[in-house]
Structure 1
Amino acid sequence: MAKRRRKFTQCPNCGYIFEEVNNYCPNCGQENHDLNVPAKHLIAEFFEGTLHFDTKVWHTLKLLLFKPGLLTEKFNVGQRASYVPPFRLYVFISIIFFFVLALRGGSSPEEAKGSFTPDVEIKGLEADTVAETSEAAVALSDSLIQAIDSPFLKELSVKFKTFTSDEEQSRQKLLKNTSFMMFILMPFFGFVLYLFYRRQDRNYVEHLMFSIHFHTFFFLITIVAIGIEYFIKSFEVDTWVFWIALLYLFLAMLRVYKQSFWRTFLKFLPVSFLYILSLLALFLGTLFISVMMS
């Protein structure tokens, strides 16, 4: 949808004389669009732009959720104007994703039964048992601190005790660091795909777009799964998200890289294994950094 402009004949910023085709000043870059109009015109423009953006979001999410790999394919061949840019979409969805995780992690033990969080999973434990376990962990940590001779390990034990002493602060710190971890994981996964499909002579950016769309999908289905869990307490969020994400990854690889079913499957196995391994390694690294920052 083209933007309707009320054009100046002369740039109000630098005085450049506009030609009819100039939507921006060639001299200073200011937009050639007069905003000094009645409020009703500005309101109409706002809703016009908002509805157009909503249409782009709907088209983007429809392809992302229900047609694995098609959004990436359209981006790679240059069909981009009708869809939200991949990185902008990722940032927007990731903000919602970590906000939902923070709310979920902050719920009471009764409300969180059967749920998973990025830090510690506790299922079906009574409050007394949790308290006794925490006291035992603190006592063990104190004993280890006294027994360890290595300065590094002793410092690590002290940091770990500090980290676990405030559950809410530890959760928030871990969530914040996990968001950075996922930001690192995206280009790494793109590089893994680049290595496996290097004979197709594709630019790395194409694999990076695949990775961004895949992680955006992962965030979306996790948000949906957490919403389902809110109404169905027995719903296994982590199990469903894990298998749906793997299926989506395979179907997206099949569409984007256009190889046979079995050839794609033979690449999918090591690609998914390396992804899960790197995810685990990065999460452990994130946990270590979170503890050391305590």
Structure 2
Amino acid sequence: MKKNRRKFTQCPNCGYTFEDVNNFCPNCGQENHDLNVPVKHLLWEFLEGTLHYDTKFWVTLQYLLFRPGLLTEKFNIGQRASYVPPFRLYVFVSLVFFFVLSLRASRETEPLKKDLPPIEVPAIPEVRLGDSLLYARDATVITPERTPADSAVQNIDNPTFKMAMEKLVSFSKGGEVSRQKLLKNVSFMMFILMPFFGYILYLFYYRQRRNYVEHLMFSVHFHTFFFLLTILALGIEFIYSGFDVDMWVFWISMLYLYFALHQVYKGSYLGTFFKLIPIAFVYFFSLTLFFLGTLAISVLMS
């Protein structure tokens, strides 16, 4: 897509006098484009540059949502210029996804904060110097309330395991700070899981002698669809609180994966189904391990 430039007549950096054809200064290399405009113009330019926010974006979105596997197939046969690049689309959608997820997490913690009873601070009686020893003898030391988890951790004999459990208990009490830290690490985890899922597909379809990058593009498109679907489901949940996000996202994702595998790898419907079962099992088993590892890292780094 051609960029709409607001050109200078003279380079503000070195003073070179521009010609109409100069998009960059021949003298110093600075772009001939005026950025001193309202923020809304800069935001629109960002969307255009990132997603090609025109017909290309909407066609890409339409194919991604309603034609499982078609974008991957077109990428593999070389039809790429008409669609948003897979990684660029993934990064943008994942940023929106984790932003929405953090908003949901914050909204869930608000009722808990409102239900907490107010803390009453007892008045400290006035003590005369002559009564100080008597007061010290009768005084009781107020210690923070200990939970059953704290008591269980103190009974652990192994020092290493005890330290790890102390960190876990502390992390669980961290509230919003711990939640945001975990979300940040999960976003990085998903970025690592994406090429791993591509390798799973590479192993299951090894006989087709495809290059790994074809399986990787399938994984990128599938995870982008998953993020978009979850964003939509969370929006429905915000309107209708009884909506079961996890169940709907899981089954629609599995159905989408089935048709995407059939579209890209050209197996029969029955053969694709029998491929889907072990692929899904290995993927969710790997996802569980990745998440537990991410949780452990988040706790140890807290």
- TM-score normalized with structure 1 length: 0.76
Aligned partner letter, 1:178: V
- Matched with 1:95 is 95
- Matched with 1:176 is 184
> 1:239, 1:249 → 2: CA distance?
15
SS at match of 1:285: helix
- Matched with 1:59 is 59
> 2:162, 2:110 → 1: CA distance?
36
Unaligned runs of 5+ in 1: 7-11, 14-19, 113-125, 129-136
> 1:269, 1:35 → 2: CA distance?
53
Q: CA deviation at 1:30?
A: 5.5
> 2:225, 2:27 → 1: CA distance?
40
| Partner deviation per Cα, 1:98-125 (whole Å, 9 max, x = no partner) | 000000011146879xxxxxxxxxxxxx
- Matched with 1:151 is 159
Asked whether 1:292 is paired with 2:300, we answer yes
- Matched with 2:139 is none
SS at match of 1:87: helix
Asked whether 1:75 is paired with 2:75, we answer yes
Q: CA deviation at 1:28?
A: 11
- Matched with 1:283 is 291
The within-5 A match list for 1:186-197 is 186-197=194-205
Query: What's the RMSD between the two structures over aligned residues?
Result: 3.5
Aligned partner letter, 2:181: K
Whether the aligned pair in 1 keeps the contact of 2:5 and 2:33 (CA below 8 Å) is no
Whether the aligned pair in 1 keeps the contact of 2:64 and 2:221 (CA below 8 Å) is yes
Tell me the percent identity: 58
Asked whether 1:84 is paired with 2:84, we answer yes
> 1:278, 1:176 → 2: CA distance?
19
> 2:215, 2:63 → 1: CA distance?
18
- Matched with 2:137 is none
The within-5 A match list for 1:1-294 is 1=1, 35=33, 50=48, 53-108=53-108, 139-294=147-302
Q: CA deviation at 1:246?
A: 0.4
Whether the aligned pair in 1 keeps the contact of 2:76 and 2:214 (CA below 8 Å) is yes
> 1:285, 1:24 → 2: CA distance?
48
| Partner deviation per Cα, 1:25-44 (whole Å, 9 max, x = no partner) | 9x99969x8558xx9xxx8x
Q: CA deviation at 1:4?
A: 8.5
In structure 2, the CA distance between the partners of 1:56 and 1:239, relative to structure 1 (3 Å rule), is same
- TM-score normalized with structure 2 length: 0.74
> 1:2, 1:109 → 2: CA distance?
46
- Matched with 2:122 is none
SS at match of 2:79: coil
- Matched with 1:121 is none
Q: CA deviation at 1:178?
A: 0.4
Whether the aligned pair in 2 keeps the contact of 1:141 and 1:157 (CA below 8 Å) is no
> 1:290, 1:254 → 2: CA distance?
38
Whether the aligned pair in 1 keeps the contact of 2:23 and 2:33 (CA below 8 Å) is no
Whether the aligned pair in 2 keeps the contact of 1:144 and 1:157 (CA below 8 Å) is no
In structure 2, the CA distance between the partners of 1:189 and 1:144, relative to structure 1 (3 Å rule), is same
> 1:72, 1:151 → 2: CA distance?
51
> 2:5, 2:257 → 1: CA distance?
43
Whether the aligned pair in 2 keeps the contact of 1:60 and 1:71 (CA below 8 Å) is yes
| Partner deviation per Cα, 1:72-118 (whole Å, 9 max, x = no partner) | 11111111111111001000000000000000011146879xxxxxx
Q: CA deviation at 1:292?
A: 1.0
SS at match of 1:186: helix
Whether the aligned pair in 1 keeps the contact of 2:23 and 2:32 (CA below 8 Å) is no
Q: CA deviation at 1:140?
A: 2.2
> 1:273, 1:293 → 2: CA distance?
30
- Matched with 1:117 is none
The count of corresponding residues between Structure 1 and Structure 2 is 257
Unaligned runs of 5+ in 2: 7-12, 15-20, 117-144
SS at match of 2:107: coil
- Matched with 1:122 is none
> 2:69, 2:53 → 1: CA distance?
22
Q: Tell which structure's C-alpha radius of gyration is larger.
A: 2
